[in-house]
Amino acid sequence: MASHKRTGKTTAEKLDILKRFDELPANISQGDAAGRLGIARTTLADLLKQRTTLSVHSESGNRVRKRNCKSHVTDGALLIWFRQASSMNAPINRAILIQKGNELARKMRVNIDITHGWLTRWKNRHGTVYKKLHDEKQDADEDGARD
């Protein structure tokens, strides 16, 4: 049985390990380097293989795994629709997004079912939030307030 619990590391943590590895002497073995860094040798070997991929995905430093979307077409189309609807101050909620996502998938003939879980991951991927505008905020004269 393993002596410690298996944990995933975020992209930022992985990049930090690689940075500390680069600061070690050049003639050190991977096994010795892994011991000094407090990780397994295989973990270090995997991180060294993934170095270029990790640097590309470094903008999402809080993620542990990089999962791809099943349907990039539906994903992108829903994002475009969401931005257009948001710019027109249209009321948007979870039910509307699910309905619109399923409608777009049908129109594009993509076999995907937009669920609450899919929508949550979609929101996390794109950093989108939908907030209900209260009557006072909708009717506010923003240009007059700036003057």
Q: Are residues 82 and 50 in the same domain?
A: no
Is 65 part of a structural domain of the chain?
no
Is 5 part of a structural domain of the chain?
no
Tens of pLDDT, residue by residue over 5-49, are 777 788 888 889 999 999 999 899 999 999 999 999 999 999 999
Is 100 part of a structural domain of the chain?
yes
Tens of pLDDT, residue by residue over 63-121, are 555 666 667 788 889 999 999 998 888 888 999 999 999 999 999 888 888 899 889 88
Q: What is the pLDDT of residue 97?
A: 92
Phi first, then psi: give them for residue 129, nearest 5 degrees: -135, 150
Q: Are residues 43 and 94 in the same domain?
A: no
pTM of the shown model: 0.50
How does residue 1 score in pLDDT terms, banded at 50, 70 and 90? very low
Q: Are residues 54 and 78 in the same domain?
A: no
How many Cα atoms sit within 13 Å of 123 on the Cβ side?
16
Measured CA to CA, the distance from residue 70 to residue 42 in angstroms comes to 30
